[in-house]
Amino acid sequence: MNKKSLVGVIILLVVISVALYFFYGQPKTTETTTRLETPNGSEEKVSLVYAVHWAQGNQMEGIYDENGELKAKGLNQYLDEYSDLHPNIEFSVRLLPYIEYADTLKALNDAGMAPDIYQIYSPWGVSYVREGILAEPPLEIKEDILDNYVSTAGVTIDGEIWGIPTEINDFALLYNKEIFKEAGLVDEEGNVLYPKTWSELVDKAVKLTKKDTQGNIEQYGIAFLSEDWQVVDPFLSLLFSNGGEYLAPDLSQSLFNSPAGVEALEAELELFEKGATDMNGNFFDFKDGKVAMVISPPWTKSTFAESFGDKFETVVGVAPFPPLKKQATLGYSWFMGVMENSTNKKEAWKFLQWFATEIQAETGTTRYGDLLANNIGAIPSRRVDFESHQEVLGDFFTGVYAAQMGNAVAEPNVAESNNIKAALMAEIQAAWSGQKTAAQALNDAAAKVDRILSSNSR
């Protein structure tokens, strides 16, 4: 075996090992048997395995008030409710962390250990569909989706519906009001002067940065994270606000290395060149008051609400994405469905209909819509949920994301999207670290991405 082949085998084994650890290391129950025969001729027992990418306490176990009264059900409570209605159904929840979900789901499928129910970032779906990993939804579910969702773009692949849309999101600016006030960035009435353009963001980020005597940043004006949603997605938002495009409409080539793209990355690099951030910054240090601003999707709401507690609304400010030339931001979506290799397809789709599409008589909303809006902090894509959760979707935090949805540019569904974003992320970070100019980084990324796109079309 040559060296290249050996490396490939080692990588595959590592991916499968990670998949096994996360998939079997953190169950809701210890039950892993797919079907169990029950005594006395009673209905057959079914265990549905549900793979998620989030597992915070309030998302899983619900939200309670100060008196211990339940305010919003968590995932486990919905699963228990369904099992009470259908005693033959049991659930096992498995956590697949976001940064490993795409590869791990495929590895589990290839190893014959696929979950029954998945929830995925929409662009991953193209490759999964072509590889036969996802089960096609029943006709009645497809018809319901076409009639009742704000957008079906993310769940439509090659002209067909491939799952149930869950959330639609975009990116906005979060800022720490206390840090702004301490720096005197307020108007005559004491209101925070948050940045409304990218130029203002750079200027304020520089003013809000504090360093020790050795020049190390102690308080970041802005911070990112070494994950694609914190490297690629803020760049794409800035690119769109500068009039640029990500990929060609026919997905045949990259367009992000256009003059508009180079200008956008150069604008982002100002933050690094002027010392307002560096490669050591951590997006999540925002919750500890060590970062003045971050570019964030709405699902961070639950994390920051828990961290800031009673001071959440008084400390955290939310503003539309600060543009270069016009208001724009990246829009993205997720969807859920059933794996092709599931031996419990009928039961899994039946559960998802109850969970994600059935309207509750007492609320006029879906159960999954409630979970998204109340516990996860995401924007539900079913129209009745989008319109009915105004106490949440219209609040000081999520309201900003919902309001700028009209300016969101949808991320395209493209095969190998994970590898495309990985290639672009690596080159953006090379520019961040000063190894390459903006033009060099984007041209090198475009060369890599174009090879992937060319391969997709074969």
The domain ranges of the chain are 11-169+332-410, 172-331+413-456
61: nearest Cα among 28, 23, 22, 96: 28
CATH 3.40.190.10 for domain 11-169+332-410, yes or no, is yes
Q: Average pLDDT in the 3-18 region?
A: 44
Give me the pLDDT at residue 209, please: 98
What's the rounded mean pLDDT across residues 72-86? 96
CA atoms within 13 A on the CB side of 117: 26
Bridge partners of 88? none
Residue 24 scores a pLDDT above 70: no
Amino acid, single-letter form, for residue 116: D
Q: Is residue 180 pLDDT above 50, yes or no?
A: yes
Indicate the Cα dihedral angle 154, 156, 161, 164, nearest 10°: 0
**CA-based nearest residue to 264, from 283, 238, 294, 243:** 238
Residue 42: the pLDDT is 54
pTM of this prediction? 0.86
Residue 35's pLDDT band, with cuts at 50, 70 and 90, is very low
Token pair of 447 as six digits: 């060369």
Domain formed by 172-331+413-456, architecture: 3-Layer(aba) Sandwich (3.40)
Round to whole Å and give the CA distance between 194 and 3. Answer: 54
Q: State the pLDDT at residue 358.
A: 97
Q: 132-178 pLDDT, tens per residue?
A: 999 999 999 999 999 999 999 999 999 999 999 999 999 999 999 99
pLDDT-derived band at 183 (thresholds 50, 70, 90) equals very high
Walk across the sheet containing 316-320 and list its strands. Answer: 293-296, 172-176, 316-320
Least confident of 39-48, 363-372, 396-405: 39-48
Span 347-370, average pLDDT: 97
According to the model, what pLDDT value does residue 27 have?
A: 42
Query: Residue 307: which pLDDT band, with cuts at 50, 70 and 90?
Result: very high
* Per-residue pLDDT, 377: 87
Give the Cα separation of 194 and 199 in Å (integer).
12
Equal CATH topology for 11-169+332-410 and 172-331+413-456:
yes
Confidence bin at 329 (pLDDT 50/70/90): very high
Query: Rounded mean pLDDT of the chain?
Result: 91
Q: Which percentage of the chain shows pLDDT scores above 90?
A: 84
The confidence band for 302, taking pLDDT boundaries of 50, 70 and 90, is confident
State the average pLDDT over residues 336-344.
97
CA atoms within 13 A on the CB side of 278: 10
Overall average pLDDT of the 283-312 stretch: 95
